[in-house]
Amino acid sequence: MREGRELCYFWDSLVAFTLREAQIEVLLGLRGGASGRGDDELEVSWNSSFGRMTVREELRGPAGAIAKEKRQRSERSEPPEVPLSGRKAGPSLHMAPGLSNEKKTEDGQSSRENSIHLCNPHLEKMKEDILYHFALGTSTHDFPALFGDVKFVCVGGSPSRMKAFIAYIAEELGLGSPGGDYPNICAGTDRYAMYKVGPVLSVSHGMGIPSISIMLHELIKLLYHAKCSNITIIRIGTSGGIGLEPGSVVITRQSVDATFKPQFEQVVLGKTIIRSTNLDEELAKELLQCSKEVNQFNTVIGNTMCTLDFYEGQGRLDGAICLYSEEEKLQYLKEAYDSGVRNIEMESSVFAAMCNLSGVRAAVVCVTLLNRLEGDQISSSHDILVEYQQRPQKLVGYFIKKSLGKV
């Protein structure tokens, strides 16, 4: 690692921010990575405005920015980084041993498996970890036995849709149970529902950033405790489209905020940190190719706007509160379209940010239930909406089959 370089290596490493009024201390605890395919990077920059501190965290790593990283290297005419196998830990105030489920082959070399990266050194000190909103815990459940074989995690807002998905994928993979019933693994709570068949886990996340954020914290810890590797997480959801025929499927290139920026503002101890919302470009392309092979509905790759509110936040005129005109709404939606936004939903930004930080390959695949340039109310018939909602399931189901060599 060269001194003074703005990009710092980040692999199984820990960053501790101490934010105090006008001062920022960034404590970088670095540990040598040995993934065999180059190290990941954490970009840290910051600014302070009006007494409010903003820290930009951008992890470029296994979760999708590899292509971008290579492109940047090429633009800078730099050689690719030499894999730093066996690199020693740098000086660190907060060393976090064992925070990756890195696997060794018989000759002691690291394999190419991508394990879950927990950005939290405190967990190692805990004797037990209770995943409260899943009603699961490490001292009451054998996570490696229950979940160790998981390779694909599909998440979506509605519990019943995620139950329907597990039945669908079971059938597709030839793993259907005789009675066709799949027990809810989180039966001890009604916060989330979780189903599993073979290497596929299906989890509901409710609506909105906070709801999916709680689920993802506990899901990432679940996968870590289960020693899972090479995980792909895909959100299959519904959304409002912009300039697309209803029923079109959007694979998210970037999740953008309400000002069309590809970032997520996370408030940590009262301070705002900005996180990258990049998603895996290669995975998006693979999914688009799958859609061409399925050939049943229109699918595009585009940006997805993620909002904190369904009504005012998305410019709807039909909420209980609306203090703007139809012209202002349409201007906003057209600006979104011009910036590359093709659909609007409420979970993708924190989903992308957390998968990025945890080193998990991730994608967002949402069907559009209406064209927001033409209206706000979702007034299609129940049957049409049900068919629309099956489209991301079909696409992702085909992708999983293809990944497992079953197509």
Residues in region 342-401 near its own copies by CB under 8 A: 346, 354, 357-358, 377-379, 382
**Nearest residue to 85 via CA among 119, 109, 104:** 109
Residue with smaller CB distance to its own copies, 115 or 358: 358
Contact pattern for its own copies over residues 162 through 181, marking x by CB under 8 A? --------------------
- The structure tokens listed for 8 are 């710092």
Residues in the chain, overall count? 407
Residues in region 50-79 near its own copies by CB under 8 A: 50
Distances (CA, A) of 144 to 100, 178, 221, 400: 15, 25, 12, 22
Using CB under 8 A, which of 86, 132, 245, 293 touches its own copies?
A: 132
Q: Is 254 labeled as ligand-binding?
A: no
- The structure tokens listed for 330 are 């349409």
Is 378 in a helix, a strand, or coil?
coil
The nearest distance, CB 215 to its own copies, in angstroms, is 9
Residue 313 interacting with its own copies (CB under 8 A) = yes
Contact 291, 395 (CB under 8 A): yes
List the 7-9 sheet strands across, edge first: 7-9, 41-49, 52-60, 271-276, 263-268
Residue 194 interacting with its own copies (CB under 8 A) = no
Residue 285 interacting with its own copies (CB under 8 A) = no
Contact 373, 242 (CB under 8 A): yes
- The structure tokens listed for 320 are 């209980």
Q: Is 267 exposed, middle or buried (0-12, 13-18, 19+ CB in 10 A)?
A: exposed
Using CB under 8 A, which of 103, 104, 319, 406 touches its own copies?
A: 319
Q: In 181-262, where do the E strands start and end?
A: 194-197, 200-204, 232-241, 249-256
Residue 187 interacting with its own copies (CB under 8 A) = no
Using CB under 8 A, which of 106, 267, 383, 405 touches its own copies?
A: 267
The nearest distance, CB 321 to its own copies, in angstroms, is 5
Residue 97 interacting with its own copies (CB under 8 A) = no
Using CB under 8 A, which of 67, 175, 187, 268 touches its own copies?
A: 268
Q: Which stretch binds its own copies (CB under 8 A): 2-10, 15-23, 77-85, 289-297?
A: 15-23
Residue with smaller CB distance to its own copies, 299 or 314: 314
Contact 193, 144 (CB under 8 A): no
Residue with smaller CB distance to its own copies, 229 or 307: 307
Contact 401, 173 (CB under 8 A): yes
Residues in region 322-351 near its own copies by CB under 8 A: 322-326, 328-329, 332, 346
Q: Is 24 labeled as ligand-binding?
A: no
Using CB under 8 A, which of 7, 310, 340, 387 touches its own copies?
A: 310
Residue 160 interacting with its own copies (CB under 8 A) = yes
Residue 78 DSSP class: P
Residue with smaller CB distance to its own copies, 346 or 396: 346
Contact 223, 129 (CB under 8 A): no
| Total residues binding its own copies (CB under 8 A) | 78
Please give the annotated binding residues for phosphate, written as ranges: 191, 235-238
